[in-house]
Structure 1
Amino acid sequence: MIQIRQATLEDLPEITTIFRDTIRAVNSKDYSEKQIEVWSSDADNLEEWKDRIENLYFLVAEFKGQIAGFAYLKNGFHLDGLYVHKDFQRRTIGSKLLRIMESRATANGYEVLKSDISITAFPFFDSHYYEVEKRHKKNYKGLAFENIIVYRDL
């Protein structure tokens, strides 16, 4: 049984491990080794993660006491991150987190949920009826990443 709850600072080690491992295991099929190295190194920016947990709507999904995924919402309607542990892919965890984030955006008074996603995540969002607003190259730490801005009317 999956339990969804607000993230706490005590979750930080598991959250950053999931972030790093998911990028290395799942996104590596769509991005270069250098891109994966740079992107996954963001797990080491603990101050930024603490800030997200303390100041954003940040949820974790637990399965038998282990964090299996997390998601966080910025500015009330922007899904800034959704990651599912590499060993829990395709088990509805991402879908549950996404539905809750959509509900929260609606509760915040917004009629749309947006996200800037990786190309790896596109099939997931496409299956949840998200539309492409724009495909673009995102410059991050000197590297160009192919990303997609998606949205869904709520």
Structure 2
Amino acid sequence: MELNKSTDTQAVVIRSYGQADAADTLAIFLAAVTETAAADYSPEQIQAWARPEARDLTTWHASMQERNSYVATVDGAPAGFSDVNSVGYIDMLFVAPRCQRQGVARQLIARVEAHARTAQLAELTADVSITARPFFERHGFTVEAEQHPVTGGVRLTNYKMKKKILDSAVCLSGQLACHTQDQANTVRDHLALHLALTRAEPGCRSFNVTATSDPLVWQVEERFEHEAAFATHQERVASSEWGQATSGIERRYSSTERFGATLTLGNNTTQLDVTASAIVH
């Protein structure tokens, strides 16, 4: 399993896999394994993993269909793919090397998790490559075991990883604190649209930014169904009109539960152990 290491956001569209995607997704798989993963595996391991001479479109297509696969596109062109089966196992998550730094992997994992939640699955599992492990850890997966499967007589290394997805709402509480009247005017000018767009996002349970007795300070209360929905919200906000207009305005948060991840609100980034984003279990 491989993917990009991107955090940037572009116009990524996720849709269900179809037969017409077979050739493109196979090409993405081969490119991701032979190029992206080459930093962490030897040429012998890459050859055993990719096995391009053993791949055919008919078998590939049948396997993709069985695994409930999704395709990510950028500007209409296939850029990556993933899947999740009926028990929450993710067999593949790959992104084309040319599409790194476009938010493709993050959008794919969000769709996979949304599917699992709709199906009321308790957890997601995956056998994750060395290269992909940091990405999965950033998205709430933990390592259950280091594994050494043998493919084509060659020993590889990957990790059995798991993520519990029931009752994992993300809650944030804090303040948006302006230091000048111009900043306060900027908030007032952009707030209505920001509220409407956020409340319309999949996975947003509630989102409120309300005035306080101080005309320069607003109270912020957010609740998202799960981490993937919150991460997708952050990506949208970072490149939005609101995010760009308010990037220099101070965010004040206090934590009720520490969680080792990074929170980005607008274009400001802080560590969650000093902010008020709590993972409620």
Query: Into which bin does the TM-score normalised by the smaller protein fall?
Result: over 0.9
Q: Residue 74 of structure 1 aligns to a residue in which SS? A: coil
Question: What is the match of residue 73 of structure 2?
Answer: 62
Please say which of residues 83-92 and 114-123 is displaced more in the overlay.
83-92
Question: What is the match of residue 197 of structure 2?
Answer: none
- Matched to 2:43, the amino acid is E
Cα-to-partner distance string for 1:44-101 (whole Å, 9 max, x where unaligned): 2433311123222111011112101100112330011000110112321101110111
Counterpart contact for 1:79–1:113, Cα < 8 Å:
yes
Cα-to-partner distance string for 1:19-65 (whole Å, 9 max, x where unaligned): 00111111001111011112112572433311123222111011112
Question: What is the match of residue 7 of structure 1?
Answer: 17
Identity across aligned pairs (percent)?
A: 27
Q: Does 1:97 align with 2:105?
A: no
1 or 2, which has the higher helix percentage?
1
- Matched to 1:32, the amino acid is S
Larger radius of gyration: 2
- Matched to 1:34, the amino acid is E
1 or 2 for the larger relative contact order (CA 8 Å, sep ≥6)? 1
Question: What is the match of residue 254 of structure 2?
Answer: none
1 or 2, which has the higher strand percentage?
1
Q: Residue 91 of structure 2 aligns to a residue in which SS? A: strand
- Matched to 2:81, the amino acid is F
* Alignment equivalent of 1:151, drawn from 149, 162, 167: 162
Counterpart contact for 1:76–1:108, Cα < 8 Å:
no
- Matched to 1:93, the amino acid is V
Question: Could you state the TM-score of these two structures normalised by the residue count of structure 2?
Answer: 0.52
Q: How many angstroms apart in 2 are the aligned matches of 1:64 and 1:96? A: 15
Once superposed, which parts of structure 1, at least 4 consecutive aligned residues long, lie more than 3 Å away?
none
Aligned residues: 154
Please say which of residues 25-34 and 37-46 is displaced more in the overlay.
37-46
Q: How many angstroms apart in 1 are the aligned matches of 2:145 and 2:157? A: 11
Q: Any unmatched runs of 5+ in structure 1?
A: none
After superposition, residues 1-154 of structure 1 pair within 5 angstroms as 1-41=11-51, 44-154=55-165
Please say which of residues 1-10 and 112-121 is displaced more in the overlay.
1-10
